[in-house]
Amino acid sequence: MKIVKIVFIASLCAMLISLAACNAGEPPAPTPPPAPPIVETPPELPLLEDVDIEMTAPMADDWAFDIDNPESPFYLPAIGRFGLTESELAYYAEYIRTGDLAALYGVAPMSVLKLWIQAGIEGQIYEEFQLFHPDTLYGETFEEYYFMNMSDGMEATQRVRQRFADIFFAQLEDGDIVEQGNRTIISFDTEIGERLTLTLRLSDDGIWLVEREIF
């Protein structure tokens, strides 16, 4: 077997030497230009459809039991009620219908904040995500936001989400508003005595949007 390999290698060397001798008197062939690099276009991720996500019946029943039962450690008492004014409902309906932020041009920061909360209550998660100022997302995509919120309040029924809004945002309009040019800072108390601060920023299109915060 070794002899066969040696003979094969010797024959190959002889062929290469012969080719080199034949080409010795010819000018070298021009080097072809390098091929342009292949740039692959990343596939576009399809936007998830707007779906009102509901928990399974047993889980929803557990949530309802906990938030309604004063003896449960997860009891959520709520005296106030979060809701939109008549004009805010009109803005919200137009925004949800069109999905266009232009529908909110000229809407005050407080009202935009309330529309953002309402979108969360109703499970309109894409419209909720759009109301974040893009400069505060730091590269976060809608798909990532959707995934991260699937295991939080979005899995609850709308009634449970409304209860959370009642606890945290019922006193929103009684809060303090500080205007700083293209930013508006709103501080308010929750039903459980916690002080929250949310900030909105004016977009390049002149629309107030919520600054993204990780709670």
156 burial type by CB count under 10 A (0-12 exposed, 13-18 middle, 19+ buried)? buried
The answer to whether 140 and 52 are in contact (CB under 8 A) is no
Residue 60's pLDDT is: 52
* Mean pLDDT, rounded, for 111-119: 98
Residue 123 lies in a domain: yes
Residue 209's pLDDT is: 98
Instruction: Provide the token pair at 87.
Output: 């004009």
Greater model confidence, 90 or 52: 90
Residue 15 lies in a domain: no
Residue 147's pLDDT is: 83
In tens, the pLDDT along 53-62 reads: 444 444 555 5
Residue 150 lies in a domain: yes
Greater model confidence, 12 or 79: 79
Instruction: For residue 130, give its domain range.
Output: 83-156+170-210
Residue 193 lies in a domain: yes
Residue 184's pLDDT is: 98
> What are the C-alpha distances in Å from 133 to residues 12, 113, 150, 209, 213?
68, 12, 21, 5, 11
Residue 3 lies in a domain: no
Domains contained in the chain, number: 1
Q: Which of 160, 164, 126 is CA-nearest to residue 145? A: 126
Is the pLDDT assigned to residue 47 strictly greater than 50?
Answer: no
* Mean pLDDT, rounded, for 138-158: 75
* Mean pLDDT comparison of 51-55, 68-72, 85-89, highest-scoring range: 85-89
Residue 18 lies in a domain: no
The CATH number of whichever domain residue 202 belongs to comes to: 3.10.450
Confidence band of 64 (pLDDT split at 50, 70, 90): low
Residue 142 lies in a domain: yes
Residue 203 lies in a domain: yes
Residue 71's pLDDT is: 82
Residue 156's pLDDT is: 63
The answer to whether 197 and 185 are in contact (CB under 8 A) is yes
